[in-house]
Amino acid sequence: MFTTNKEVTCFMFVSYFTSLPSVAPAVLHALCTVCVCVCVCVCVCVRACVRSLGTLQEERRMKVTILLAMLVSAVLSSDQFSGHQEEPSHELSLVKFGALCSGNPTNKKRGCDFTGCGGYGAKRTHGTHKGLDIVCNDGATVYAPFDVKLNGKAFPYGRPAIPEKLINDGVNLSGGGLCFKLFYMRPDRYRGSFKKGQRIGTLLPMQRVYRDITLHIHVQMCDRSDPTKYF
Protein backbone atom coordinates (compact mmCIF):
# COMPACT_ATOMS: atom_id res chain seq x y z
CA MET A 1 0.00 0.00 0.00
CA PHE A 2 1.06 3.53 0.63
CA THR A 3 4.51 4.04 2.08
CA THR A 4 4.51 7.76 2.79
CA ASN A 5 2.17 10.47 3.96
CA LYS A 6 2.68 12.19 0.61
CA GLU A 7 1.31 9.13 -1.17
CA VAL A 8 -1.72 9.06 1.15
CA THR A 9 -2.35 12.73 0.52
CA CYS A 10 -1.96 12.20 -3.18
CA PHE A 11 -4.36 9.22 -3.04
CA MET A 12 -6.98 11.28 -1.28
CA PHE A 13 -6.50 14.15 -3.74
CA VAL A 14 -6.71 11.88 -6.78
CA SER A 15 -9.70 10.00 -5.37
CA TYR A 16 -11.51 13.20 -4.65
CA PHE A 17 -10.56 14.83 -7.92
CA THR A 18 -11.43 11.84 -10.10
CA SER A 19 -14.36 10.66 -7.98
CA LEU A 20 -12.98 7.15 -8.40
CA PRO A 21 -12.61 5.80 -4.88
CA SER A 22 -12.99 2.22 -6.18
CA VAL A 23 -10.01 2.46 -8.54
CA ALA A 24 -7.47 -0.28 -8.00
CA PRO A 25 -4.82 0.60 -5.41
CA ALA A 26 -1.99 -0.17 -7.82
CA VAL A 27 -3.26 2.44 -10.24
CA LEU A 28 -3.70 4.97 -7.48
CA HIS A 29 -0.22 4.17 -6.17
CA ALA A 30 1.23 4.90 -9.58
CA LEU A 31 -0.71 8.16 -9.82
CA CYS A 32 0.48 9.19 -6.39
CA THR A 33 4.07 8.38 -7.26
CA VAL A 34 3.82 10.59 -10.34
CA CYS A 35 2.19 13.31 -8.24
CA VAL A 36 4.99 13.16 -5.67
CA CYS A 37 7.64 13.36 -8.38
CA VAL A 38 5.93 16.36 -9.93
CA CYS A 39 5.64 18.06 -6.56
CA VAL A 40 9.29 17.40 -5.79
CA CYS A 41 10.35 18.80 -9.17
CA VAL A 42 8.17 21.87 -8.69
CA CYS A 43 9.61 22.43 -5.21
CA VAL A 44 13.16 22.09 -6.49
CA CYS A 45 12.47 24.53 -9.33
CA VAL A 46 10.78 27.02 -7.03
CA ARG A 47 13.64 26.80 -4.56
CA ALA A 48 16.16 27.31 -7.35
CA CYS A 49 14.20 30.31 -8.61
CA VAL A 50 14.02 31.75 -5.12
CA ARG A 51 17.76 31.28 -4.70
CA SER A 52 18.33 32.84 -8.11
CA LEU A 53 16.12 35.79 -7.23
CA GLY A 54 17.91 36.10 -3.91
CA THR A 55 21.26 36.12 -5.69
CA LEU A 56 20.05 38.75 -8.14
CA GLN A 57 18.68 40.83 -5.30
CA GLU A 58 21.98 40.46 -3.44
CA GLU A 59 23.90 41.53 -6.54
CA ARG A 60 21.58 44.48 -6.96
CA ARG A 61 22.08 45.43 -3.31
CA MET A 62 25.84 45.24 -3.77
CA LYS A 63 25.69 47.38 -6.91
CA VAL A 64 23.50 49.95 -5.17
CA THR A 65 25.91 50.00 -2.21
CA ILE A 66 28.90 50.53 -4.50
CA LEU A 67 27.11 53.31 -6.40
CA LEU A 68 26.16 55.04 -3.15
CA ALA A 69 29.75 54.80 -1.91
CA MET A 70 31.03 56.31 -5.17
CA LEU A 71 28.44 59.09 -4.96
CA VAL A 72 29.36 59.94 -1.36
CA SER A 73 33.06 59.94 -2.27
CA ALA A 74 32.42 62.28 -5.21
CA VAL A 75 30.38 64.66 -3.04
CA LEU A 76 33.09 64.75 -0.36
CA SER A 77 35.77 65.37 -2.96
CA SER A 78 33.69 68.16 -4.48
CA ASP A 79 33.21 69.75 -1.05
CA GLN A 80 36.94 69.60 -0.35
CA PHE A 81 37.75 71.14 -3.73
CA SER A 82 35.15 73.87 -3.29
CA GLY A 83 36.46 74.61 0.17
CA HIS A 84 39.98 74.91 -1.21
CA GLN A 85 38.80 77.26 -3.95
CA GLU A 86 36.91 79.42 -1.49
CA GLU A 87 39.91 80.02 0.73
CA PRO A 88 40.53 83.74 1.04
CA SER A 89 43.19 85.07 -1.26
CA HIS A 90 46.41 86.13 0.38
CA GLU A 91 47.61 88.07 -2.63
CA LEU A 92 48.65 91.63 -1.93
CA SER A 93 46.31 94.30 -3.20
CA LEU A 94 47.58 96.51 -6.01
CA VAL A 95 50.09 99.14 -4.98
CA LYS A 96 48.79 102.67 -5.49
CA PHE A 97 51.02 105.60 -6.37
CA GLY A 98 51.11 108.42 -3.89
CA ALA A 99 51.54 112.02 -5.06
CA LEU A 100 54.38 112.27 -7.57
CA CYS A 101 54.66 116.04 -7.92
CA SER A 102 54.18 119.04 -5.69
CA GLY A 103 51.08 120.95 -6.76
CA ASN A 104 49.29 117.76 -7.90
CA PRO A 105 48.34 115.77 -4.77
CA THR A 106 45.75 113.66 -6.66
CA ASN A 107 48.05 112.63 -9.53
CA LYS A 108 45.86 114.29 -12.14
CA LYS A 109 46.57 112.74 -15.55
CA ARG A 110 47.54 114.68 -18.61
CA GLY A 111 44.71 114.92 -21.13
CA CYS A 112 45.12 115.82 -24.81
CA ASP A 113 46.85 118.92 -26.21
CA PHE A 114 48.43 120.04 -29.48
CA THR A 115 51.22 117.49 -29.15
CA GLY A 116 49.08 114.48 -28.29
CA CYS A 117 47.42 112.70 -25.38
CA GLY A 118 48.94 111.47 -22.14
CA GLY A 119 47.09 108.17 -21.69
CA TYR A 120 48.66 104.77 -22.12
CA GLY A 121 48.41 103.55 -25.72
CA ALA A 122 47.80 107.03 -27.18
CA LYS A 123 48.93 107.43 -30.78
CA ARG A 124 52.42 108.67 -31.48
CA THR A 125 54.31 109.35 -34.71
CA HIS A 126 56.27 106.14 -34.32
CA GLY A 127 53.83 103.83 -32.58
CA THR A 128 51.93 104.26 -29.33
CA HIS A 129 52.52 105.86 -25.95
CA LYS A 130 54.09 103.28 -23.63
CA GLY A 131 53.47 105.09 -20.38
CA LEU A 132 51.17 107.42 -18.46
CA ASP A 133 51.69 111.18 -18.08
CA ILE A 134 50.97 112.83 -14.73
CA VAL A 135 50.60 116.61 -14.64
CA CYS A 136 53.66 118.29 -13.09
CA ASN A 137 54.92 121.88 -13.33
CA ASP A 138 58.40 122.98 -14.38
CA GLY A 139 60.76 122.77 -11.45
CA ALA A 140 58.17 121.00 -9.28
CA THR A 141 59.47 118.67 -6.59
CA VAL A 142 59.17 114.99 -7.49
CA TYR A 143 58.37 112.61 -4.61
CA ALA A 144 58.76 108.90 -4.02
CA PRO A 145 55.22 107.52 -4.62
CA PHE A 146 55.84 104.76 -2.03
CA ASP A 147 58.95 103.21 -0.49
CA VAL A 148 61.30 102.84 -3.44
CA LYS A 149 64.83 102.05 -4.46
CA LEU A 150 66.56 104.06 -7.20
CA ASN A 151 68.47 101.79 -9.57
CA GLY A 152 70.30 104.12 -11.96
CA LYS A 153 69.73 106.59 -14.74
CA ALA A 154 66.97 106.19 -17.35
CA PHE A 155 66.89 107.87 -20.77
CA PRO A 156 63.62 108.91 -22.46
CA TYR A 157 65.37 109.20 -25.83
CA GLY A 158 67.94 106.86 -27.25
CA ARG A 159 69.30 109.38 -29.76
CA PRO A 160 67.92 112.76 -28.74
CA ALA A 161 68.02 115.85 -30.93
CA ILE A 162 69.71 118.92 -29.48
CA PRO A 163 66.55 120.38 -27.86
CA GLU A 164 65.52 117.01 -26.42
CA LYS A 165 68.83 116.71 -24.63
CA LEU A 166 67.53 119.31 -22.19
CA ILE A 167 64.97 116.85 -20.86
CA ASN A 168 66.65 113.52 -21.65
CA ASP A 169 66.91 112.43 -18.04
CA GLY A 170 65.11 110.14 -15.64
CA VAL A 171 65.58 107.30 -13.16
CA ASN A 172 64.86 103.58 -12.79
CA LEU A 173 62.93 102.63 -9.66
CA SER A 174 61.61 99.54 -7.89
CA GLY A 175 59.32 99.09 -4.91
CA GLY A 176 56.00 97.59 -3.89
CA GLY A 177 56.66 94.69 -6.23
CA LEU A 178 56.88 97.04 -9.22
CA CYS A 179 59.63 98.08 -11.59
CA PHE A 180 59.14 101.41 -13.35
CA LYS A 181 60.81 104.54 -14.75
CA LEU A 182 60.22 108.26 -14.35
CA PHE A 183 61.14 110.49 -17.32
CA TYR A 184 61.71 114.23 -17.75
CA MET A 185 63.02 114.73 -14.22
CA ARG A 186 66.45 115.29 -12.74
CA PRO A 187 67.00 113.06 -9.70
CA ASP A 188 68.95 114.39 -6.74
CA ARG A 189 70.84 111.11 -7.03
CA TYR A 190 70.42 108.00 -9.14
CA ARG A 191 70.82 105.32 -6.50
CA GLY A 192 69.58 104.80 -2.98
CA SER A 193 66.44 104.04 -0.99
CA PHE A 194 63.66 106.53 -0.23
CA LYS A 195 60.53 106.47 1.88
CA LYS A 196 57.13 107.42 0.52
CA GLY A 197 56.81 111.19 0.14
CA GLN A 198 60.54 111.91 0.25
CA ARG A 199 61.94 114.20 -2.42
CA ILE A 200 63.83 112.38 -5.17
CA GLY A 201 64.31 115.21 -7.72
CA THR A 202 62.73 118.00 -9.81
CA LEU A 203 60.89 118.21 -13.13
CA LEU A 204 62.82 119.47 -16.17
CA PRO A 205 61.60 122.42 -18.37
CA MET A 206 59.53 120.50 -20.95
CA GLN A 207 58.05 123.56 -22.69
CA ARG A 208 61.52 124.64 -23.74
CA VAL A 209 61.42 121.59 -26.00
CA TYR A 210 57.70 121.11 -26.73
CA ARG A 211 55.86 124.39 -26.89
CA ASP A 212 52.34 124.39 -25.44
CA ILE A 213 52.64 120.82 -24.18
CA THR A 214 50.96 120.04 -20.88
CA LEU A 215 53.78 119.87 -18.35
CA HIS A 216 54.06 116.37 -16.94
CA ILE A 217 56.18 113.55 -15.62
CA HIS A 218 56.13 110.31 -17.59
CA VAL A 219 55.59 106.99 -15.74
CA GLN A 220 56.58 103.85 -17.62
CA MET A 221 56.63 100.25 -16.39
CA CYS A 222 59.82 98.29 -17.06
CA ASP A 223 57.86 95.75 -19.12
CA ARG A 224 55.96 98.56 -20.88
CA SER A 225 52.61 97.37 -19.54
CA ASP A 226 49.82 99.79 -18.63
CA PRO A 227 50.52 101.61 -15.32
CA THR A 228 47.05 103.21 -15.15
CA LYS A 229 45.69 100.62 -12.68
CA TYR A 230 48.23 101.77 -10.10
CA PHE A 231 46.78 105.29 -10.01
Domain spans of the chain?
22-68, 112-230
Residue 28's alpha-carbon distances to 35, 37, 92, in angstroms, are: 10, 14, 101
Rounded to whole angstroms, what are the CA distances from 99 to 1, 74, 134? 123, 53, 10
pLDDT in tens, 118-127: 999 999 988 9
Q: What is the pLDDT of residue 39?
A: 44
Q: Tell me if 36 sits within 8 A of 66, measured CB to CB.
A: no
- pLDDT value at position 55? 58
Q: What is the pLDDT of residues 36-94, one digit of tens each?
A: 444 444 444 435 544 654 555 666 666 656 665 565 555 455 544 444 444 444 445 78
Identity at 27, one-letter amino acid code: V
Q: Which CATH class is domain 112-230?
A: mainly beta
Task: Summarize the confidence of residues 17-33 as an average pLDDT.
Answer: 49
Closest CA to 217 of 125, 109, 144, 130: 109
Range 135-161 average pLDDT: 94
Whole-prediction pTM value?
0.60
Q: What is the full DSSP assignment across 100-134?
A: -BTTBTT-PBP-EETTEE-STT-EETTEE--SEEE
